[in-house]
Copies of this chain bind each other. A is one copy, B any other.
Amino acid sequence: MFFPFTKIRLANMSASKKLSAREIERKFLLKRFPPNLKKFPHDTIEQGYLATGRGGLQVRLRKKGSVRSLTYKQGTKGEREEREIRLSVEQFNALWPATAGRRLTKVRYDVPWKSHTIEIDVYRGRHDGLVVAEVEFDDQRSCAGFEPPDWIGRDVTGKPKYSNVALAHD
């Protein structure tokens, strides 16, 4: 069972492409860690980029726990395409060296909050100390109605300096 997943997400694509739910995300800094953070499910994520380019283009390699994947992303907020395949250890290892100089490491905690999951990314290495929380919403209504817990800080949605591509290239 080499390939338990293949994820294809097409957000708000133009006529020629499949239409699916718009991907709505918000990103925040943290005032402080939520209580008992380490009790929540978490994985170390290592990721690196084979390619990044204009229009939000990225070809990303990621190892999350023991799951290795390659993800193609293109487009910005309004129109996004995302395609992801799982890689075997051998496939991942063959490509990974090509991401040298364009990598980052973080620990991701999945913290449930009301009907949402708040993903808390604690960066390691060069960005040690940086902590970012991300929440994904099914629709605008759900996004608008989001009441963050009191440990959530400033909204940094869309700020380039907090994008993973930017953090990997620093």
Residues of A in contact with B (beta carbons under 8 Å apart):
2-3, 6, 8, 17, 50-51, 53, 57, 59, 70, 72, 74, 81, 83-88, 90-91, 94-95, 97-98
Is A98 within 8 A of B83, CB to CB? yes
**Can you name the residue of chain B whose Cβ is closest to the Cβ of A58?**
B51
* Alpha-carbon gap, A3 to B95, bound state (A): 14
Is A3 within 8 A of B91, CB to CB? yes
Is A6 within 8 A of B91, CB to CB? yes
Contact pick for A85, options B3, B59, B95, CB 8 Å: B95
Closest CB in chain B relative to A107 CB, distance in Å: 27
Residues of B contacting A51 in the complex (Cβ-Cβ under 8 angstroms): 50-51, 53, 57, 59
Residues of B contacting A59 in the complex (Cβ-Cβ under 8 angstroms): 50-51, 59
Closest CB in chain B relative to A169 CB, distance in Å: 13
* Alpha-carbon gap, A3 to B90, bound state (A): 8
Known: A17-B97, A50-B72, A84-B94. 8 other contacts (CB 8 A): A3-B88, A3-B91, A8-B94, A51-B57, A53-B53, A72-B98, A74-B98, A85-B95
**Can you name the residue of chain B whose Cβ is closest to the Cβ of A18?**
B97
Closest CB in chain B relative to A156 CB, distance in Å: 27
Closest CB in chain B relative to A75 CB, distance in Å: 11
